[in-house]
């Protein structure tokens, strides 16, 4: 099952890459630009075929893809002078910007559709309930062990287990105070002093029971610890609610992606530490970490709805992150090329104001050192994240 999860993620990743390149390809053809190659992957060619003026193919290394549009910039030679009018650089700025943004746009569309279909077909996950879905067997030594959900022989039994709480119990009151949702119950537990006695009122098989526990504490975690988690309920949404949910989830992932990128420099020192999962380094991952999480989710002993929901949301989140990151105004990213086109038009506007000729295309030779430097920095971060996910993985699936 773990292997199936990896296969699902790799197929989804290749499909995302294909959509990205299709966005560039379709818009370029629509505007009359000449696209000579459309390939998935890099390195040696495994298979290719020619249709018209374009060669389509698959390469050996599935780490991306590319569309070759002639005359992308000032350094790009056009073999046949007759094709120059169809080159990328000879088209209006707005058309070039549309082509450059089309790849990220396809990532965003895919993510939105996945989240929409999830809400419409499987349902929106709701864990704000007092029905117990998990009763921990032990008191974790620290937050890292708590996140992993693992027990060691020397761990003490959890207060929930000692009290006799069971999966499926509906908690109706904590220390005599009624609770209607998990937010209220969780807040009540955390407010209680660690080591203090607590009464938990539950409904089980139509009967009301009052159970007694002595609350514990977990190192690195604030508040008392009981050792319970809510069950997950999936509520199928109507189309309007599904659109609202997709839009809200999209915005949350986008904001979280920006936060993760901003926290990356500070997270680097913790990538290889034992407590990575409880630090900012636990919030960043490579495709290896995402693939591992997909495999773990598929292999987990949970319901199919949770598995499908987790995998779809993970793939959607990855597409949102890649789409947004690709639009950063940094060469060699698409956003960097957009910035170059915008600068060309600003420079041309100033030239007109001063009644001087259009200075034309930006000399990309001057930007090559900058582009190469940024590329090397991105490669450094990418390789570091991959290594961290191999030797010091985080259990993203929980």
Please give the helix or strand (H or E) that residue 205 lies within, else none.
Answer: none
- Does the N-terminal peptide bond of residue 363 adopt cis geometry, omega within 30 degrees of 0? no
Q: What is the pLDDT of residue 126?
A: 82
Catalytic residue, chosen from 21, 84, 125, 344, is 21
Q: Residue 208: is its pLDDT beyond 80?
A: yes
Which structure tokens are listed for 262?
């901003």
Least confidently predicted of 154-168, 222-236, 313-327, 357-371: 222-236
Whether 66 has a pLDDT exceeding 80, the answer reads: yes
| 343 and 376 together in one domain | yes
Return the CATH number at 190: 2.30.42.10
* Partner residues linked to 171 by β-bridges: 202
Residue 115: domain span = 94-125+236-398
pLDDT digits (tens, 9 = 90+) for 315-364: 999 999 999 999 999 999 999 999 999 999 999 999 999 999 999 999 99
Q: What per-residue confidence (pLDDT) applies to 287?
A: 86
Tell me if 33 is assigned to some domain: no
Same domain (yes/no): 282, 380: yes
- 183 and 295 both lie in a single domain: no
Q: What integer is the mean pLDDT of 196-202?
A: 95
- Distance separating alpha carbons of residues 336 and 326, to the nearest angstrom: 9
Rg from Cα positions in the chain: 27
Do 338 and 216 fall within a single domain? no
Task: Count CA atoms within 13 Å of residue 74 on its CB side.
Answer: 13
Return the closest-CA partner of residue 313 out of 170, 167, 116. Answer: 116
Residue 369 belongs to a domain = yes
What is the number of structural domains in the chain?
2
What gap in Å lies between CA 72 and CA 50, rounded to an integer?
A: 21
CA dihedral 327, 256, 291, 150 (to 10 degrees): 170
Mean pLDDT of 3-15: 88
Which own/partner contact pairs does 69-73 have at CB distance under 8 Å and 24+ positions apart?
Answer: 69/24, 69/28, 69/33, 69/34, 69/35, 69/36, 69/99, 70/33, 70/34, 70/35, 70/36, 72/337, 73/337, 73/340, 73/361, 73/362, 73/364
- End residue of a domain, out of 231, 255, 271: 231
Our answer to whether residue 21 is catalytic in this structure is yes
- Residue in the block written with tokens 């949702």: 181
Q: Which of 189, 193, 194 is nearest to 174 (CA)?
A: 189
Tell the residue number behind the tokens 């990205």, with chain if given: 20
CA–CA separation, 396 and 71 (whole Å): 43
Query: What is the length of the chain?
Result: 398
Same domain, 388 and 254: yes
Domain shared by 388 and 273, yes or no? yes
pLDDT bin (cut points 50, 70, 90) of residue 397 is very low
How does the average pLDDT of the chain come out, rounded?
89
Residue 389: CB partners within 8 Å, gap ≥ 6?
285, 286, 288, 289, 292
Residues 248 and 329 in one domain: yes
Cross-strand pairs, 204:
207
Are the C-beta atoms of residues 112 and 250 closer than 8 Å to each other?
A: yes
Q: Considering the domain boundaries, does residue 309 fall inside one? A: yes
Contact 316, 117 (CB under 8 A): no
User: Which stretches of 205-312 are assigned E, i.e. beta strand?
Assistant: 207-214, 228-230, 233-235
Give the pLDDT confidence score for residue 143 in this predicted structure. Answer: 57
263 shares a domain with 203:
no
Are 115 and 164 part of one and the same domain? no
Q: Is the predicted pLDDT of residue 394 greater than 80, yes or no?
A: no
Contact present, 275 and 392 (Cβ < 8 Å): no
- The answer to whether residue 81 sits within a structural domain is no
Please check whether residue 89 lies inside any domain of the structure: no
Alpha-carbon distance of 137 to 152, in angstroms, equals 10
Residues 251 and 148 in one domain: no
pLDDT range class, residue 146, cuts 50, 70, 90: low
When pLDDT is averaged across residues 257-275 and rounded to a whole number, the result is: 82
Tens of pLDDT, residues 280-328: 777 788 888 888 888 888 887 677 888 899 999 999 999 999 999 999 9
Question: pLDDT > 70: what percent of the chain?
Answer: 94
pTM: 0.80
On whether residue 99 sits in a domain, the answer given is yes
With contact defined as beta carbons under 8 Å apart, do 398 and 355 qualify? Answer: no
Q: Convert the pLDDT of each residue in 69-119 to its tens digit.
A: 999 998 999 989 999 999 999 999 999 999 999 999 999 999 999 999 999
For 390, which DSSP code? Answer: H
* Residue where one domain finishes, among candidates 207, 231, 255: 231
268 token code pair: 């680097």
Asked if 37 and 25 touch (Cβ cutoff 8 Å), the reply is no
Mean pLDDT of 1-23: 88
Q: Is residue 290 part of a domain?
A: yes
């Amino acid at each position: 099952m773990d292997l199936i999860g990896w296969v699902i993620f790799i197929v989804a990743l290749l499909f995302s890459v294909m959509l990205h390149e299709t966005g560039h390809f379709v818009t370029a053809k629509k505007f009359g630009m000449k696209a000579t190659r459309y390939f998935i992957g890099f390195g040696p060619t495994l298979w290719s075929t020619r249709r018209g003026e374009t060669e389509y193919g698959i390469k050996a290394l599935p780490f991306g893809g590319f569309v070759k549009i002639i005359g992308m910039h000032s350094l790009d030679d056009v073999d046949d002078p007759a094709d120059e009018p169809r080159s990328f650089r000879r088209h209006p700025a707005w058309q070039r910007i549309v082509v450059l943004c089309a790849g990220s746009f396809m990532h965003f569309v895919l993510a939105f559709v996945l989240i929409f279909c999830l809400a419409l077909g499987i349902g929106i996950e709701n864990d704000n309930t007092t029905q117990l879905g998990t009763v921990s067997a032990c008191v974790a030594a620290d937050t890292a062990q708590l996140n992993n959900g693992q027990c060691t022989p020397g761990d003490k039994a959890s207060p929930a287990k000692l009290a006799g709480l069971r999966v499926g119990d509906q908690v109706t009151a904590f220390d005599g105070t009624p609770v209607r949702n998990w937010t209220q119950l969780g807040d009540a537990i955390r407010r209680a002093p660690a080591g203090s006695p607590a009464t938990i009122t539950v409904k089980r098989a139509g009967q009301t029971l009052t159970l007694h526990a002595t609350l514990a504490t977990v190192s690195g975690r604030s508040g008392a610890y009981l050792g319970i988690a809510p069950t997950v309920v999936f509520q199928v949404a109507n189309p309007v609610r599904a659109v609202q949910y997709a839009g809200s989830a999209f915005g949350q992932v986008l904001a979280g992606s920006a936060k993760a990128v901003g926290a990356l420099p500070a997270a680097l020192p913790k990538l290889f530490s034992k407590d990575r999962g409880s630090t900012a380094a636990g919030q960043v991952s490579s495709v290896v970490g995402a693939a591992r999480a997909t495999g773990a989710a598929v292999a987990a002993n949970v319901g199919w709805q949770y598995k499908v929901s987790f995998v779809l949301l993970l793939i959607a989140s990855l597409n949102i992150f890649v789409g947004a990151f690709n639009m950063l105004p940094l060469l060699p990213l698409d956003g960097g090329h957009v910035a170059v086109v915008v600068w060309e038009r600003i420079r041309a506007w100033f030239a007109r104001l001063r009644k001087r000729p259009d200075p034309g295309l930006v000399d990309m030779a001057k930007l090559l050192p900058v582009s190469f430097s940024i590329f090397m920095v991105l490669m450094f971060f990418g390789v570091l994240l991959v290594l961290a996910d191999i030797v010091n993985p985080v259990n993203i699936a929980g």
